[in-house]
Amino acid sequence: MKIWFDGKLVDKEEARVSVFDHAVLYGDGCFEGIRFYSGKVFRLQEHIVRLFDSMRYLMIELPWSFEEVCKATEETVAASGMEDGYIRLVVTRGVGDLGLNPKNCPKPSMFIIVQNIALYPKEMYENGLSLITSSYRRPNPDMLSQQVKSLNYLNSISAKLEAVQQNAGEALMLNERGNVAECTGDNIFIVKNGVVITPPLTECALGGITRHAVMDICVAEGIPCEERVMNRFDILSADECFLTGTAAEVIAATSLDGRTIGAGHAGPITKRILACYQKMVRL
């Protein structure tokens, strides 16, 4: 297994991050999760644009250009010998000291891992995920912008632990106003009276690449799609509900806090969008 690490492909045993890296000490850095299908990286440039936006926000400047990061990602995929898989591209602040000051980390680091990933078993895409409402809220943008894919995922991990403890597949996360934001690692959509609805990004949701792809599918398929503020009532009264994310792709959610959503299985519009997505990624 080869990993791209700071400019070259190395064996995984050689890909080592220092204990003094601020990514290890403080979760200081950002990342992208990317899929590839039939050897082709899905929406590579969109992912790398989002990565560079995150770095700009965090004031991390890589020694590699946008084009070089795209090329490095493709080289790592090619070196894996895999047809389909998952890419984790991580940028760290770099080695510093035990203090918080990021200026004491003169050189950022980047590594790219390619592996298989399967978040959920195949039958769950038909039967759907169970959701619980997390007691943890998404922070306001003035505290921590959800548009930055930061390495600090404690907010999501805390919510995921709640889901695991309650034997649920995922946790729904609200913002401080009690409106729906997203799930721990996925955007959320509902279907009501034939209209696909998702919360606007201003509700503390990440601008997901798969989210964008699904909205493109809706336009192409003539399915009405809207961004609309919603709360738990909207989910519980929806005809269908589904989640989107790079790793999860498109998966139905069929219950919330023990209460059935819609018919209790993947609905017709969810299935249609998933089928279109599966075609899209292999174009």
pLDDT mean by block of 10 residues, the chain; 283 residues: 97 96 98 97 98 98 98 98 97 97 97 91 88 97 92 97 97 97 98 98 96 98 98 98 96 98 97 97 93
Query: Shortest CA distance to 273 belongs to which of 221, 226, 200, 208?
Result: 221
Same domain, yes or no: 251 and 160: yes
Query: Shortest CA distance to 262 belongs to which of 169, 190, 184, 181?
Result: 190
Same domain, yes or no: 195 and 228: yes
Residue partners of 100: CB distance under 8 A and separation at least 6: 26
Same domain, yes or no: 158 and 269: yes
Same domain, yes or no: 96 and 155: no
Same domain, yes or no: 104 and 155: no
For the chain, give the longest Cα–Cα distance.
Answer: 56
Same domain, yes or no: 156 and 231: yes
Please check whether residue 208 is in contact with residue 186, taking contact to mean a CB–CB distance below 8 angstroms. yes
Residue 123's pLDDT is 83
Domain boundary among 95, 115, 135: 115
The span from the CA of 35 to the CA of 189, in Å, is: 21
The span from the CA of 99 to the CA of 102, in Å, is: 8
Q: 260 - beta bridge partners? A: 255
Domain of residue 220, CATH code: 3.20.10.10
Please check whether residue 167 is in contact with residue 205, taking contact to mean a CB–CB distance below 8 angstroms. no
Residue 23's pLDDT is 98
Residue 124's pLDDT is 85
pLDDT in tens, 68-102: 999 999 999 999 999 999 999 999 999 999 999 99
Please check whether residue 246 is in contact with residue 209, taking contact to mean a CB–CB distance below 8 angstroms. yes
Side chain identity at 54, as an amino acid letter? S
Domain boundary among 74, 89, 115: 115
Residue 126's pLDDT is 84
Residue 247's pLDDT is 93
Residue 138's pLDDT is 97
> Which residue range(s) make up the domain with 28?
2-115
End-to-end CA distance of the chain: 27
Same domain, yes or no: 111 and 139: no
Residues tagged active-site: 149
279 CB-side CA count, 13 A: 8
Same domain, yes or no: 42 and 132: no
Residue 120's pLDDT is 84
Number of domains, the chain = 2
Same domain, yes or no: 54 and 87: yes
The span from the CA of 215 to the CA of 224, in Å, is: 9
Same domain, yes or no: 220 and 174: yes
Domain boundary among 98, 115, 132: 115
